[in-house]
A and B are shown apart, each in its own frame.
Chain A
Amino acid sequence: MNDTYLALPAMALRTVIVLSALLVGIRLVGKRHVGEMAVDDILLILMMANAVQNAMTSGSGRLLVALACAGSLIMAGWLAGHVFYRFPFLERSVTGSPTVLVHGGIAIRGNLRREHVSQEQLMLAIRKQGLVKVADVELAVLEANGSISVVPNEAKGGD
């Protein structure tokens, strides 16, 4: 009886702890890789979500527990949105900042290595932009969301 009142805030707090730990963990492990193996990413995320499920709910199937957990997740998301809006440097530290991979037709090897972008992944992004060579690229940037944006070289034209 007493536990009911104790359990709900405990679940809510556990949920928030789990969410924070996962976000920090994903950032530490450096998971911002290029959209290559989409299946594996989805599998990883789903399995992680399932792995922490009982850590949030204590394996309880009660409606109130579900509502407390889901509610605190939604609140945490809402709160994070506000905090990130107010303090942009915090968002950068969580999501990472854009990294220049190619500039003026020349690949920046150090940045490629540091961000674990392989030659194959870079060429894939370039081909998707309808270009063939690194020399055709004015600017290629690894964005915070893991996608590579490619700006063609003006001089490239229709050769």
Chain B
Amino acid sequence: MFAHWLQLIFSHPDLPASLVIAAKSAVIYLFVLVGLRMLGTRELGEMSAYDFVLIVVIANAVQNALVGGDNSLVGGLISAFTLLLVNRVLQAVIERFPAVRKGIVGEPVVLVTNGQPRWQRMQKEGIEREELEAALREHGVASIDDVRLAVLEVDGEISVVPKHGTVHRMRRRPVRGLRTQ
């Protein structure tokens, strides 16, 4: 009976099935990742509630495909570790090749230098004047003239360096949406 119990716990798929799980997990992860990127780096970097729901739903949608009806302990772990590994490899690739980094992560965009706003760039990045000014106020800066440097970062936040004095930095918050920390 005890042996039966152990079998209940440490169930595992056979080798071919394991390989299938690993391969499917990797393919699905890359597919979803590329799909999200194609929707637009910056928009998703900002993580509105809508984006969050989208990601949760996607994760649920691919669930059955990940392990393909395999209910064993080892099968699930194989899938999870495949995801981790693919993520890590991707991270290493981004680190090694700046060009890939530019494509996947994006680049920081300078919005204001020495009180000079770059409206064209802001328009291109979809940043409205109100958003920029809100970001300035959050950093305790009242007017664009007082800004030494404002940068739209790759995670969707706007960082502000004032011309003089110390920074009155408030809670770190993205321009739109959730990502609070």
Query: Are these two chains actual partners, yes or no?
Result: yes
Instruction: List the interface of chain A (C-beta within 8 A of B).
Output: 3, 6-7, 9-10, 13-14, 17-18, 21-22, 25-26, 29-31, 33, 35-40, 42-44, 46-59, 116, 118, 120, 123-124, 127-132, 147, 152, 158
- Complex contact B108–A48 (CB within 8 A): no
Q: Give min CB distance, B9 to chain A, whole Å.
A: 5
- A132-B162 Cα distance, complex, nearest whole Å: 10
In the complex, 5 of the A-B residue pairs with CB atoms within 8 angstroms, ordered by the A residue number, are A29-B84, A29-B85, A39-B55, A51-B63, A158-B164
- Complex contact A43–B59 (CB within 8 A): yes
Closest residue on chain B to residue A56 by CB atoms: B76
- A127-B63 Cα distance, complex, nearest whole Å: 39
- A36-B79 Cα distance, complex, nearest whole Å: 24
Does B122 sit within 8 A of A, measured CB to CB? no
- Complex contact A50–B59 (CB within 8 A): yes
- Complex contact B153–A54 (CB within 8 A): no
Would you list which residues of chain B between 12 and 59 have a CB under 8 Å from chain A?
Answer: 25, 28-29, 32-33, 36, 44-45, 47, 51-52, 55-56, 58-59
Q: Give min CB distance, B28 to chain A, whole Å.
A: 8
- Complex contact B161–A30 (CB within 8 A): no
Residues of B within 8 A of A22 (CB): 77, 80
Chain B interface size, as a band, is 35 or more
- A46-B60 Cα distance, complex, nearest whole Å: 8
Does B119 sit within 8 A of A, measured CB to CB? no
Q: Give min CB distance, A45 to chain B, whole Å.
A: 9
- Complex contact A35–B181 (CB within 8 A): yes
- A32-B26 Cα distance, complex, nearest whole Å: 21
Q: Give min CB distance, B21 to chain A, whole Å.
A: 9
Q: Give min CB distance, A97 to chain B, whole Å.
A: 20
- A49-B59 Cα distance, complex, nearest whole Å: 9
A29-B88, A43-B58, A47-B59 known; A52 vs B139 contact (CB < 8 Å): no
- Complex contact A53–B108 (CB within 8 A): no
Residues of A within 8 A of B83 (CB): 44, 47-48, 51
Closest residue on chain B to residue A59 by CB atoms: B71
Does B124 sit within 8 A of A, measured CB to CB? no
Residues of B within 8 A of A49 (CB): 59
Output the residue of B63, B87, B88 with the most chain A CB within 10 A.
B87
A14 in complex: contacting residue of B9, B32, B59, B148, CB < 8 Å: B9
Does B143 sit within 8 A of A, measured CB to CB? no
Does B172 sit within 8 A of A, measured CB to CB? yes
Does B116 sit within 8 A of A, measured CB to CB? no
Q: Give min CB distance, A105 to chain B, whole Å.
A: 16
Residues of B within 8 A of A158 (CB): 163-166
- A56-B47 Cα distance, complex, nearest whole Å: 30
Q: Give min CB distance, A132 to chain B, whole Å.
A: 6
Q: Give min CB distance, B96 to chain A, whole Å.
A: 10
Residues of A within 8 A of B149 (CB): 127, 132
- Complex contact A31–B84 (CB within 8 A): yes
- Complex contact A129–B75 (CB within 8 A): no
- A30-B84 Cα distance, complex, nearest whole Å: 10
Output the residue of B8, B52, B148 with the most chain A CB within 10 A.
B8
- Complex contact A47–B62 (CB within 8 A): yes
A33-B91, A54-B67, A55-B72 known; A39 vs B47 contact (CB < 8 Å): yes
